Amino acid sequence: MPIDTIIVGASSFSSLMRLYLEQEGKYHVVAYAVEAEYLKADAFDGLPLIDFDLLASQYQGISVLNTIGYSKMNQARERIHRHLVELGIEPVTYIHPSAVVNSPLGAGCIVLEHCSIGFRNVIGEGCIFWSRTTIAHDCKVGDFSYWSPHAVSCGNVTIGKRCFIGAGAVLRNRIQVADDCLVGAGVYLNHSVEECGKVFACHNAEERTVSSNQVF
């Protein structure tokens, strides 16, 4: 029997994740949930849209997937994840059948088509890996980081919490990146980043003067 599931979020990504979940036949999405301040309708994507605060009292024991994206440099997803844990709900970890995952994942991660997560990696909670992301080996990926399609981390890389890695970005081996950094699409980052919140948005990894929380 499919597992009844509520999706937290009401975005295009949320409805897309419903398709992934139901395509496998393992999950049956019964509703979407958002915080009260975002509850502007009774339904979303043809299903009930409910108050997030009702999850603990009226939907005990139900499976919950957190689909909040990179808003506020992933802080919004982290906040929802922490709240779910406080309510005694462990967020669902979703791994697409085509992904190859050879390292344990933290709770609430989402791993989409043809991702490759190699051996001896440490993957934090609530990370999102879009299609064809590669995490090579011996890497540490911080909680709530967001990896866009075709992003690549070479071996022995440490990525801080809440980082955003853009589509097609490549992180050179043996570098360290501090928390809350943004590596833009197509960037080749070939050096470590010690200061939190830095933005690299050019192909040559030129540092921008804005902080990451001014971008998302």
> What's the pLDDT tens digit per position in 77-88?
999 999 999 999
Cβ atoms of 142 and 121 closer than 8 Å: no
Cβ atoms of 143 and 106 closer than 8 Å: yes
pTM given for the model:
0.94
Residue 1: predicted pLDDT: 87
Residue 46: predicted pLDDT: 98
Total domains in the chain come to 2
* Contacts for 172 with CB less than 8 Å, ≥ 6 apart: 154, 157, 188, 189, 190, 191
Q: Taking the CA of residue 77 as centre, how many other CA atoms within 13 Å lie in the half-sphere pointing to its CB? A: 31
Residue 74 lies in a domain: no
Same domain (yes/no): 197, 159? yes
Residue 195: predicted pLDDT: 96
Ranges in the chain, pLDDT < 70: 202-216
Range of the domain at 28: 3-67
Same domain (yes/no): 195, 144? yes
Residue 201: predicted pLDDT: 86
Residue 144 lies in a domain: yes
> What's the pLDDT tens digit per position in 154-205?
999 999 999 999 999 999 999 999 999 999 999 999 999 999 999 998 665 5
Return the CATH number at 176.
Answer: 2.160.10.10
Residue 30: predicted pLDDT: 97
Residue 26: predicted pLDDT: 93
Same domain (yes/no): 202, 99? yes
Residue 211: predicted pLDDT: 59
Residue 216: predicted pLDDT: 56
- How many Å is the Cα radius of gyration of the chain? 17
Residue 186 lies in a domain: yes
Q: Which residue has the tokens 């499919």?
A: 2
Q: How far apart are CA 155 and CA 171, in angstroms?
A: 9
> Last residue of some domain: 32, 67, 102?
67
Q: Which residue has the tokens 């597992």?
A: 3
Return the CATH number at 16.
Answer: 3.40.50.720
